[in-house]
Amino acid sequence: MFGLFRKSPEQQAQDEAKIQASLSKTRQGFFGRISTLFQANEITDDTWTELEELLIQADLGVNTALEVVEKLQARVKKENLKRVEDVRAALKAELVSLLAYPPFTSLEEPRMLTVVLIVGVNGSGKTTSIAKLAKYYKNRGRKVVLAAADTFRAAAIDQIKIWGERVGVEVVAQAPGADPGAVVFDAIRASQESRKAEMLIVDTAGRLHTKYNLMKELEKVRAVCARQVHNAPHETLLVLDATTGQNAISQAKHFKDSVQVSGIILTKLDGTAKGGIVFAIEQELGVPVRFVGTGEKPDDFAEFDPVAFVNGILD
Ligand code: GDP
């Protein structure tokens, strides 16, 4: 019940393989053209111009694209890199450094009960991601419970129940329209007492009548968590759909105004050629991508890894 849940090397390798496999569309898009640039015999002035343009088109954002090219040029000069493959490796290192957040360990810390809030709009892949996250930690030996606290939509409760059954974790739910705070209160009690769970994942409303209502509701849910469990919620993860591109960024800004977001679950990485959105998320929101959805099945999910990601987009 009380212990550190470190990822094994096998699990790390699985995560890396899933990330890389899910990026085939992105690899064939603008990043594919970047890879082609580095198959030439030499680096010319045109290479730099093209690289800059392609990075912008790949969704890095103008400022970030310019910064990457400037840093790369400086590095090439300083380290006197002549071979095209060395420049390519240096580009990868620059891209990885854009994603270099402190390692994600907060869900591995020993606690009696770890509480994770999931926020995001309906349609982003929120329900599927909750089930995948539950399965991910269940596979790593943890007892997980889900709380169906998106009581605004009856369908949301049903879907969580169906997915809970599918991945073999218990769901605490009440009737549609119930007070989400009460659902969370019950779920925490059940996790601590009868269910003896180590991780509680809470689904929250993706949409209410107004942004103000949404903010109030999410605040209330947070307050219930904080009152019952020390330092809870330990993570608040926002689910974003990678296929919606810049729209995902504006959605994220909307949520960030309403609730403290500690990380992103980026879904449908397999369904987009614009995996470059990962860089824009980190740069524009300052929030790390922590997990990615890599397909529709419950196991199509991985903890985000910057090196695997960059290798995946540029191989
Ligand atoms: P919700 O309304 O936000 O709860 O969305 P759902 O979890 O029901 O997902 C909406 C759709 O997106 C479903 O058809 C899912 O199968 C699909 N989906 C979710 N995550 C992924 C993913 O990582 N990859 C792919 N290809 N589809 C996904």
Say whether pLDDT at 16 is over 80: yes
Per-residue model confidence as pLDDT tens digits over 17-65: 999 999 999 999 999 999 999 988 889 999 999 999 999 998 888 888 9
Q: What is the pLDDT of residues 102-158, one digit of tens each?
A: 888 888 888 999 999 999 988 999 999 999 999 999 999 999 999 999 998 889 999
Ligand 1: residue whose CA is nearest its atom 16: 296
Q: What pLDDT is attached to residue 2?
A: 46
Residue-averaged pLDDT of the chain: 92
pLDDT of 256: 87
Pocket residue to mutate for ligand 1, from 267, 289, 300, most atoms within 8 A of Cβ = 267
Quick one: which atom of ligand 1 is closest to the CA of 131? 7
The pair of structure tokens assigned to 146 is 């889900």
What is the arithmetic mean of pLDDT over 283-307? 95
Structure tokens at 49: 């111009």
d(CA 134, CA 195): 15
**pLDDT single digits (tens) 194-207:** 889 999 999 998 87
pLDDT score of 1 more than 70: no
Alpha carbon of 135 to ligand 1 centroid (Å): 15
Ligand 1 binding pocket, CB closer than 6 Å: 122-128, 267-268, 270-271, 293-296, 300
Q: In what order do the strands lie in the sheet with 144-148?
A: 170-172, 144-148, 199-203, 114-119, 235-241, 263-267, 289-293, 301-303
Ligand 1: nearest atom to the Cα of 267: 23
What is the predicted pLDDT for the residue at 59? 84
* Pair of tokens at residue 135: 């399965």
Cα angle at 206 between 202 and 209, to 5 degrees? 130
Percent above pLDDT 70 for the chain: 98
> Under 8 Å CB-to-CB from 314, ≥6 apart: which residues?
27, 31, 34, 35, 88, 91, 92, 95
pLDDT in tens, 200-238: 999 998 876 778 888 899 999 999 999 999 999 999 999
* pTM score, whole prediction: 0.94
> How far apart are the CA of 122 and the centre of ligand 1, in A?
9
Residue 78 has pLDDT above 90, yes or no: yes
CA distance 265 to 279: 14
The per-residue pLDDT for 315 is 81
**pLDDT above 80 (res 5):** no
Residue-wise burial string across 238-254, b where 16 or more C-beta atoms lie within 10 A, e elsewhere: bbbbbbbeeebbebbee
